[in-house]
Amino acid sequence: MSSKTKTCTHCGETKPLDAFKRRLTKRQSCALLHRSSISCGITVESVRCKTCWHMTKSKKPLTKKQIRNKMNSGDLKWVMGNIMLKELNETIPQKRSRVMKLEWQKRKTGWIKTLNDNLQQQVVKYKNRYHAYRASLNKLSKSSGENSLQDKQHAKQHAMLEQHRWNYEQAKQIKKRLMDRAKSGEKVEVDVQIVMYFRKGGA
Residues interacting with Zn ion, by CB under 5 A? 8, 10-11, 49, 52
Q: Is the Cβ of residue 6 or residue 165 nearer to Zn ion in the bound state? A: 6
Q: In angstroms, what is the minimal distance from the CB of 5 to Zn ion?
A: 13
Q: Is the Cβ of residue 49 or residue 71 nearer to Zn ion in the bound state? A: 49
Q: In angstroms, what is the minimal distance from the CB of 59 to Zn ion?
A: 17
Q: Is the Cβ of residue 53 or residue 197 nearer to Zn ion in the bound state? A: 53
Q: Are 161 and 184 in contact (CB under 8 A)?
A: no
Q: In angstroms, what is the minimal distance from the CB of 2 to Zn ion?
A: 18
Q: In angstroms, what is the minimal distance from the CB of 48 to Zn ion?
A: 5
Question: How many Cβ atoms sit within 10 Å of the Cβ of residue 163?
Answer: 15
Q: Is the Cβ of residue 11 or residue 159 nearer to Zn ion in the bound state? A: 11
